[in-house]
Structure 1
Amino acid sequence: MELRKLTNQQLAEQLQPIFEHLHKNPEISWNEVETTAYLVDFLRQAGLEPQTFNDMTGLYVDIGKGTPTVGFRTDMDALWQKIDGTFQANHSCGHDGHMTVALGVILLLKELEPTLPGAIRILFQPAEEKAQGAKAFVEQGVVDSLQFLFGAHVRPLMELKEGTYAPALHHGAAKLFTGEIHGVEAHGARPEQGANTIEAAAALIDGLKRIWISPAESASIKMTQIQAGGTSTNIIPGNASFSIDARAQTNETMDALTAGFKKTVDAVSTLYDVSIDYNVDAHIAAAQVDDTAKSILKQAIIQVAGEENCAPEVITPGGEDFHFYTYSKPQLQTTMLGLGCGVTPGLHHPEMTFNQTYLPTGAEIITKALVLALQQTERSDTK
């Protein structure tokens, strides 16, 4: 099957104004209202029928006939950052580029639509930066029919050489705990009558350091915020609030960190006679890369960009909401394309930039992978 009729240059010319619009109109998580409207309008003009939601931003669209078994997901939201002294939405994680790749994929698939052996679903997911969008899409049943799901992310130079492409991104897991310590206030002269929440917080910090993880595993857990006491210095503080950031390269190691954190909370509560309440405000699952999906994406990279530009898999400590799809749907076969496009100074830096000229090639690679995966699912169905 011929991948496309559009040349790379023609595709680049069509994608340039798209990227410029998306880059200049960033919107933060769950507020991607105008972005959703822009994408819906684009897709309808392309003769497609995008599906939106009544209670949230984001959308998806199917190309081809029948029930989709293969999909590509892009994120939509921007970060909230201080730029030139003013806080504002800012696309410093490359989601503007990811959406541009997705629309390039749609342009290429539209040319192939009459010959596609089945249907492909393109997902425009909100709230990746809050680690909430994938969960919402799972709950909406958006990925229920899919066997393969691909993603993509621009990569910094320290991870991927410019002009190269990786068939898998091994992101780590992350959890954000927030909580409160409830003790008893007392006069500073009578500490024995109170339960000092600052001392309990200090013990909690010390306990976190004693959660032992195998040195062969990459992991960390640490307190990142603590607030306790008021303006009076002669009062034993009876309440404190805290935040804890946990990171691990695998989901199993994150489970071990979580179990250690719970034991530490129980021990400190007993020792200092305080109560500690906490919530998991965010949970980002580690990558669970599927070998077949990775093989398909590697084949697509080689066919489109050449074997010399196919880079090794990337292991990165950063997190990605994409991996919640496999975490919640273990049967889903997933991998992410690492797009080496010279990201500098780095992801989430307020002045982050990258070379947009690689976006059309990224779209071609993803399109090729989707077609290869669709052909595989069709062969499996005929056996």
Structure 2
Amino acid sequence: MINEKIKEGIQQYSDELTAIRRKLHSEPELSWEEYETTAFVSSYLNELGIEHRKTEPTGVIAEIKGGKAGETVALRADMDALPVEELNIDLPYTSKEKGKMHACGHDAHTAMLLIASKVLNEIKDELPGNVRLIFQPAEEAATGAKAMVEQGAVEGVDNVFGIHIWSQMPTNKVSCYPGASFASADIFKVTFKGRGGHGAMPHDTIDAAVIASSFVMNVQSVVSRTIDPLQPAVLTVGKMIVGTRFNVIAENAEIEGTVRCFDAATRNHIEKQLQVYAENVASIYGATANVEYIRGTQAVINEEESAKLVQQVTTEAFGEDANYYEKPTMGGEDFSFYLDEVPGSFALVGSGNPDKDTEWAHHHGKFNVDEDALVTGAELYAQYAWAYLNK
């Protein structure tokens, strides 16, 4: 199942792989602003002679056409950075853009897929099928994958595979198991309207601060008392805006939060209960409530056959000990939109190394990648494509 030419090629280009990652890391671009990254990817693919097209407004879809007839497997890497100030000021490749940073490893993903593409292109005559390459913008905005699907990213594709560098796992370990991997990630906004007034005359008012506080305290029981405890769910209130001055009773309150779960029925139930709780809390105090529920990413559910293929490739390419079980996370990933269209799987590649200070959480200003993991990720991309097309 393992192609030795792929293994040798990835090793041969390991220095180039690191150099690409460092270049991208030093030049971060936010969601839907990845113009220079898109241009770089396009230029690199042009040099390799790989047919591709730019998507709107950013992103690239490419295809390596095999020398033999067969299916089409898609490989996806995301490209966007975060509005995070980099705290790794001593790195030679630290971000050049103030307030912007590759704090989630997307620079590594893009670099790994480019080198995987280079090696696969060198053996394209041996490929029994085609490899679709998806360089996706705006994963952090949870809108990029959906836009790429709408622009034909998975048309004619039989299977899709993605990778995420994971600082919470030891370097070079690979985790990919059937079933839930990432949770759905939704946003809710609740607005309460009471009646403002003087802080010394509360009897003439309907205090939006008290109403909002009551809602925040009570809404947690949606999860703790109305959902099967065997169905994981998280409801977090992350933002509250209420009041204007110390002696003015607030007329309005705005609350924003997020809902995470793996099960569609649980998701629907929480959405309905948010409306019920908001309206009833407001009613107790004589106020009104408005609830806006915004569905973000779906849950990432790895298809069984694809996930088992990842495990088999991992064992044969890196050894049985490389397979690692990382429990599902309540984090969101818009790779789910590809899995809505075609079967596939999403793997985590460990990059956490205490000796290199790369165990910082994703989205932290000190986040960094153990670059030894880049070779593992690049080879996993390429070997998975080879194995799928030859299965």
**How big is each residue's C-alpha offset from its partner over 1:315-367, in whole Å with a ceiling of 9 and x where there is no partner?**
223222212332x43xx212112112224122222111222122122222221
1:206 aligns with 2:199: no
Name the amino acid aligned to 2:348: G
Name the amino acid aligned to 2:50: L
Correspondence for 2:65: 64
Post-superposition offset of 1:198 = 1.6
1:366-381 matches, within 5 Å, as 366-376=381-391
Correspondence for 2:245: 231
Between the two proteins, the alignment pairs up a number of residues equal to 369
The 8 Å contact of residues 72 and 131 in structure 2, kept in 1 or not, is answered as yes
Post-superposition offset of 1:39 = 0.6
1:360 aligns with 2:361: no
Percent identity over paired residues: 28
Correspondence for 2:275: 262
The 8 Å contact of residues 167 and 301 in structure 1, kept in 2 or not, is answered as no
Post-superposition offset of 1:68 = 6.7
Query: Which segment drifts farther, 350-359 or 268-277?
Result: 268-277
The 8 Å contact of residues 223 and 242 in structure 1, kept in 2 or not, is answered as yes
Post-superposition offset of 1:104 = 1.6
Please give the alpha-carbon distance, in whole angstroms, between the structure 1 residues aligned to 2:158 and 2:282: 46
Name the amino acid aligned to 1:152: I
Query: Which segment drifts farther, 209-218 or 20-29?
Result: 209-218
Please give the alpha-carbon distance, in whole angstroms, between the structure 2 residues aligned to 1:255 and 1:11: 48
Instruction: Please give the secondary structure, in 1, of the residue aligned with 2:221.
Output: coil
Give the TM-score, by structure 2 length. Answer: 0.86
The 8 Å contact of residues 190 and 278 in structure 2, kept in 1 or not, is answered as no
Please give the alpha-carbon distance, in whole angstroms, between the structure 2 residues aligned to 1:355 and 1:162: 7
Instruction: Please give the secondary structure, in 1, of the residue aligned with 2:154.
Output: coil
Please give the alpha-carbon distance, in whole angstroms, between the structure 1 residues aligned to 2:146 and 2:130: 23
Please give the alpha-carbon distance, in whole angstroms, between the structure 2 residues aligned to 1:143 and 1:361: 25
Give the TM-score, by structure 1 length. Answer: 0.88
Please give the alpha-carbon distance, in whole angstroms, between the structure 1 residues aligned to 2:283 and 2:292: 19
**How big is each residue's C-alpha offset from its partner over 1:45-93, in whole Å with a ceiling of 9 and x where there is no partner?**
110122112x421111011158973101111111111345995111111
1:33-182 matches, within 5 Å, as 33-53=35-55, 55-64=56-65, 69-83=72-86, 87-157=98-168, 160-168=169-177, 170-182=181-193
Alignment RMSD: 2.5
The 8 Å contact of residues 191 and 255 in structure 2, kept in 1 or not, is answered as yes
1:333 aligns with 2:338: no
Q: For structure 1, list consecutive stretches of 5 or more residues without a partner in the other structure.
A: 377-383
Instruction: Please give the secondary structure, in 2, of the residue aligned with 1:259.
Output: helix
Name the amino acid aligned to 1:262: Q
Correspondence for 1:324: 337
The 8 Å contact of residues 27 and 77 in structure 1, kept in 2 or not, is answered as yes
Name the amino acid aligned to 1:163: N
Post-superposition offset of 1:201 = 0.9
Cα pair distance change 1:367/1:83, threshold 3 Å: closer
Correspondence for 2:196: 185
Please give the alpha-carbon distance, in whole angstroms, between the structure 2 residues aligned to 1:179 and 1:30: 27
Please give the alpha-carbon distance, in whole angstroms, between the structure 2 residues aligned to 1:162 and 1:83: 22
Please give the alpha-carbon distance, in whole angstroms, between the structure 1 residues aligned to 2:292 and 2:156: 32
Instruction: Please give the secondary structure, in 1, of the residue aligned with 2:306.
Output: helix
Runs of 4+ in structure 1 over 6 Å off: none
The 8 Å contact of residues 3 and 368 in structure 1, kept in 2 or not, is answered as no
**How big is each residue's C-alpha offset from its partner over 1:18-43, in whole Å with a ceiling of 9 and x where there is no partner?**
11211111111111111111111101
**How big is each residue's C-alpha offset from its partner over 1:255-275, in whole Å with a ceiling of 9 and x where there is no partner?**
332222122123224333333
The 8 Å contact of residues 73 and 125 in structure 1, kept in 2 or not, is answered as yes
Instruction: Please give the secondary structure, in 2, of the residue aligned with 1:176.
Output: strand
Please give the alpha-carbon distance, in whole angstroms, between the structure 1 residues aligned to 2:10 and 2:338: 31
Correspondence for 2:93: none
Please give the alpha-carbon distance, in whole angstroms, between the structure 2 residues aligned to 1:274 and 1:127: 38
Name the amino acid aligned to 1:335: S
Name the amino acid aligned to 1:29: S
Post-superposition offset of 1:224 = 1.7
Post-superposition offset of 1:134 = 1.4
Query: Which segment drifts farther, 262-271 or 16-25?
Result: 262-271
Instruction: Please give the secondary structure, in 1, of the residue aligned with 2:364.
Output: coil
